[in-house]
Structure formats: C-alpha cells, structure tokens
C-alpha cells in the first residue's frame, strides 16, 4: 500500500523537434538585430485572448473592503454578454511602445479596410530617420497565418502607403510565447485587469489604456495606447 500515492498526469513527453527549428529562430533573431542596428522598425503583432464582455467573473483578486467583493453572474452564457472583445496589438521593439485595437467582431485578417491600425500607429509615430524596410514578427496561425488572404492584402496596402518593404517573420507553431508582444504587453494587460469584471467595451479599452509595463533593470514605464476599432471586412467586400 505504501508503494502508491495520488498523482496527477505530468507533461513530460514533448515529442520530436524539427531539424530546422533552431535555425528558424536564429534567422528571426538575426534579421531583427540587423534592422535594429540600422534603426529600422521591428514590430511584433498578435491577437490577445478573446474576452466575453459583461458582468462575468474575471480570474484574479483585487483589494476590497471585507464582505464587499463585486457580485457577478453565476453563468457566463453568450446570451448574457454584450459581445466579445478581441484585443489586437502591435509592439515596437526599438522604441518600446505599443498600440492595441479592440474589436467586437469575428476575425477578418485582424485589420480594417485600407489600414493595418496597430502598424499604422506604430510606424506613423516613428522617427523620420527610418529607412525603407521593416520586419513584422507574428505567429503562424489565426488571422496572421501565411494563408490568410485578408491579412496579406491589407499588409500589402500598408506597405504601399508607408513606403516600407515589410518582411514577415513567422514563429514556428506552438512558440508564440516567444513573441515579444506576449511578455512585453499582453501579460501586463492581464495583470492590470485581473479580478475586474469587464462589464463594457469602454471598460476593456480603459483598462488597456491604463496599463503600464515595467522593464526589468530599467526605470522606463511604457504606456499602451488603445482604441476601439470598427468592424472589419472580408477580402471579397473590397472589390477591385
């Protein structure tokens, strides 16, 4: 009887890794460093976890007077929600600044017609000394996937308007946690609104706008800009 104990499953079998996996990471790292040395933009983009908007429980704890914790719905049925907030952002590695758009519709390439809002904001406020090339780091799935026609269409429009040759660097599958925006921006957003019911889209935008990130070893504080975005459009609705 002493030879047995209650034990949970342990994640230990990672499986085989592709021979070029490390080579792909090194290529992305070297490409980003090369552009940073030249003062060119290195932009990390991604979509944060979707959040159901309404008086629902949000994991985490905040300080309240004893016995006065916020009262939220017992159930989180979609019919009780005001919609789904989809934060989509871009992070400028060189300037340590970020931009987040909050959408309330299904993903259609993560951008609006004629614009790639986070990238436009990131590049639009850039120094005039920037050259003609930029690298866009993102994960190889969802709205940023290589097979997403809408995303490629809008990215090309952005490239033409900004006068930049945009190089897309896709991270290998299952490695989005190494994307800079994940641990430089999104993690701080999650910490800022933990335990806070996201009762409206205005609450989501305000909580993101109030987020400040603290870089280890530095006193620099980065403030994240946030805006509410209009509905997206599919490629078929663009015409031409």
Residue 118's pLDDT band, with cuts at 50, 70 and 90, is low
Q: Kindly state whether residue 6 falls inside one of the protein's structural domains.
A: no
CA-CA-CA-CA torsion for 142, 144, 146, 152, nearest 10 degrees? 130
Q: Kindly state whether residue 9 falls inside one of the protein's structural domains.
A: no
Q: Kindly state whether residue 12 falls inside one of the protein's structural domains.
A: no
Residue 219's pLDDT band, with cuts at 50, 70 and 90, is very low
Contact 144, 54 (CB under 8 A): no
> Among 240, 223, 235, which Cα is nearest to 98's?
223
Q: Kindly state whether residue 16 falls inside one of the protein's structural domains.
A: no
Q: Kindly state whether residue 49 falls inside one of the protein's structural domains.
A: yes
Q: Which of 20-24, 120-124, 144-148, 233-237 has the lowest mean pLDDT?
A: 233-237
pLDDT in tens, 133-167: 677 777 766 767 777 777 788 788 878 877 778 88
Q: Which domain holds residue 79?
A: 31-62+69-234
Q: Kindly state whether residue 142 falls inside one of the protein's structural domains.
A: yes
Q: Round to the nearest angstrom and report the end-to-end CA distance of the chain.
A: 74
pTM: 0.74
Q: How many domains does the chain have?
A: 1
**Placement of tokens 């609705």 in the chain:** 237
Q: Kindly state whether residue 92 falls inside one of the protein's structural domains.
A: yes
Q: Kindly state whether residue 15 falls inside one of the protein's structural domains.
A: no
What's 182's domain CATH number? Answer: 3.30.420.10
pLDDT in tens, 35-93: 888 888 888 888 888 899 999 999 999 888 998 888 999 998 988 999 898 888 888 88
């Amino acid at each position: 009887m002493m030879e047995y104990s209650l034990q949970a499953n342990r994640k230990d079998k990672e499986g085989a890794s592709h021979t070029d996996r490390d080579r792909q990471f090194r290529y992305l790292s070297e490409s980003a460093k090369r552009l940073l040395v030249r003062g060119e933009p290195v932009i990390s983009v991604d979509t944060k976890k979707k959040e159901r908007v309404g008086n629902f429980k949000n994991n985490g704890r905040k300080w309240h007077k004893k016995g006065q914790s916020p009262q939220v719905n017992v159930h989180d049925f979609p019919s009780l929600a005001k919609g789904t907030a989809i934060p989509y952002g871009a992070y400028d590695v060189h300037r340590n600044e970020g931009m987040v758009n909050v959408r309330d519709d299904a993903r259609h390439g993560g951008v609006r017609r004629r614009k790639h809002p986070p990238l436009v904001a990131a590049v639009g406020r850039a120094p005039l000394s920037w050259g003609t090339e930029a690298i866009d780091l993102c994960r190889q799935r969802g709205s940023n996937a290589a097979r997403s026609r809408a995303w490629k269409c809008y990215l090309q429009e952005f490239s033409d308007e900004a006068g930049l040759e945009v190089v897309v660097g896709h991270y290998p599958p299952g490695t989005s946690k190494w994307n800079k925006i994940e641990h430089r921006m999104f993690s701080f957003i999650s910490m800022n609104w933990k335990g806070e019911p996201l009762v409206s889209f205005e609450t989501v935008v305000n909580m993101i706008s109030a987020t400040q990130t603290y870089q280890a070893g530095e006193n620099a504080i980065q403030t994240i800009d946030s805006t509410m975005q209009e509905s997206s459009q599919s490629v078929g609705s663009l015409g031409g």
